[in-house]
Amino acid sequence: MSSFWLPPRRRSCQLRSSARASVMESDMTSVSGIDATLPGIARVYDYWLGGKDNFEVDREEAERLAKINPKLPDIACSNRRWIIRVVRYAVRSGVRQILDVGCGLPTSSVQFPNVHETAQEEAVDTRVVYVDNDPMVQTHGRALLATNECTSLQVGDLRDLNAFLESMRSWGLDLSQPVLLLLAAVLHFFPDRGEPHPKRIVGEIMGRLPPGSFLAISHGEDTGDLREVAKNYTAASTQLRNQQQVLELFSGLELVGPGVVQLHKWHPDEDRTSLNYSVPVLGGLARKPSCHA
Ligand SMILES: C[S@@+](CC[C@H](N)C(=O)[O-])C[C@H]1O[C@@H](n2cnc3c(N)ncnc32)[C@H](O)[C@@H]1O
């Protein structure tokens, strides 16, 4: 275990000894639900981040798309760095629970710490619930993410929103206390013509969280930089949105400055976690006020 896993302050969450058991790639295809013949959203993204939890079909998709837009790996990195900044902001604002939906495969490294590592470095008792619908994330996540008693990984699919909302109650979150709902790079997989619409997803989940909770969204921007990529992406149908459309997802909430902006403009901080070129992904963080309708 690298020293990165041990926050500087006393850990109130006990480490689980078997948590970092490795999972062989060759075992993956035999795990029920994992289809190694089709590219998967989480695995393609993992490849752009320099991860190893992907198959040949994912690497081919990732490289084909990177030929259309060579910035894609940097865009993925920029998204991960933005996540670090919003998580720090929310925890420094007093939030001690995070619901990371569409969490993706573990990224643990000094450059790309996982959400629970970032959060628990700020406050060791921060509870993190990761949720994803990808069986590969479940397999790797159980082995690599569930490293302490404040962190868990749950199966959840936003497409079945009612079941998702029902399950949420059993995930060990105290829904009377503020939660950061993190929806990073996931809502653009919900087109306007489909069900549920991202507005409904956000509205229903935030509706179950108390005032003082935060909502963080990153979302592919509808620009020339990404349109060709979205058209050629075969792992899922994708709908890019413009700033106004992403802004509308925060309806009824108080946006933290500077609002919804390209990721590199959102709190570019002194430790240079943001990249210094234009990133065609929009991000924002907002707080649920006490008078939320
Ligand atoms: C591009 S990755 C982003 C991972 C991580 N949130 C990040 O930004 O670094 C999108 C993730 O959303 C997950 N996802 C896609 N559709 C989903 C759904 N309907 N319900 C839950 N997770 C979903 C994918 O499996 C994938 O892990």
pLDDT in tens, 86-100: 999 999 999 999 999
Q: pLDDT tens, 179-202?
A: 999 999 999 999 999 999 999 999
- Number of domains forming the structure of the chain: 1
pLDDT band at 3 (very low <50, low <70, confident <90, very high): very low
- 226: in domain: yes
Residue 43 beta carbon below 6 angstroms from any ligand 1 atom: no
Binning pLDDT at 50, 70 and 90, where does residue 274 land? Answer: low
Residue 244 lies in a domain: yes
Residue at 198 is within a domain: yes
Do the beta carbons of residue 97 and residue 178 sit within 8 Å? yes
Q: Is the peptide bond before 196 cis (omega within 30 degrees of 0)?
A: yes
Phi, psi angle pair for 187, to nearest 5°:
-70, -20
How far is the centre of ligand 1, averaged over its atoms, from the C-alpha of 26 (Å)?
23
User: What pLDDT score was predicted for residue 29?
Assistant: 54
pLDDT at 99: 98
Residue 218: name the closest of 178, 271, 181, 164 by CA: 181
Is 24 within the bounds of a domain?
A: no
Nearest to 186 by CA among 216, 214, 207: 216
Ligand 1 centroid, distance to 9 Cα (angstroms): 31
Query: Which amino acid belongs to residue 152?
Result: S
**pLDDT of the residue at 205:** 98
**Greater model confidence, 60 or 143:** 60
Predicted confidence (pLDDT) per residue in 233-248, tens digit: 999 999 999 999 999 9
Rounded CA separation 162/167 (Å): 9
Return the best residue to mutate from 109, 130, 133, 181 for the ligand 1 pocket (most ligand atoms within 8 A of CB). 133
Report residue 107's pLDDT band, with 50, 70 and 90 as the boundaries.
Answer: confident
Rounded to the nearest angstrom, the distance between the alpha carbon of 8 and the centre of ligand 1 is 30
CATH code of the domain containing 236: 3.40.50.150
Per-residue pLDDT tens digits for 18-49: 333 334 444 555 556 788 889 999 999 999 99
CA distance linking residue 175 with residue 48, whole number of Å: 35
Amino acid 285 reads: L
- The pLDDT of residue 15 is 33
State the alpha helices, DSSP H only, in the chain.
25-28, 41-48, 56-68, 72-92, 115-122, 135-144, 161-168, 198-207, 224-232, 243-248
Given a cut of 80, is residue 250 above it in pLDDT? yes
Give the separation between CA 277 and CA 30, rounded to whole angstroms: 41
Which amino acid residue places its CA nearest to atom 14 of ligand 1? 102
pLDDT at residue 1 tops 80: no
Q: Is residue 10 part of a domain?
A: no
Provide the token pair at 254. 């108080």
On the question of pLDDT at 8 being above 60, the answer is no
Closest among 122, 143, 130, 127 to 8, alpha carbons compared: 122
Domain that holds residue 259: 33-287
Q: Tell me whether residue 22 is in a domain.
A: no
CA dist 58 and 90 (Å) reads 33
CB atoms within 10 A of CB 239: 18
Average pLDDT value for residue range 251-275 = 84
Indicate the angle between helix axes 115-122 and 72-92, nearest 10 degrees. Answer: 30
| Average per-residue pLDDT for the chain | 87
Residue 275 is predicted with a pLDDT of 59
Q: 137 CB less than 6 Å from ligand 1?
A: yes
Distance 103 CA to ligand 1 centre (A): 6
Confirm or reject: Cβ of 103 under 6 Å from ligand 1. yes
Query: Does the Cβ of 189 fall within 6 Å of ligand 1?
Result: yes
Atom of ligand 1 nearest to the CA of 45: 1
User: Are the CB atoms for 90 and 266 separated by under 8 Å?
Assistant: no
- Rounded Cα distance between 179 and 157, Å, is 19
Identify whether 293 is part of a domain. no
Any ligand 1 atom below 6 A from CB of 81: no
Q: Within a domain: residue 2?
A: no
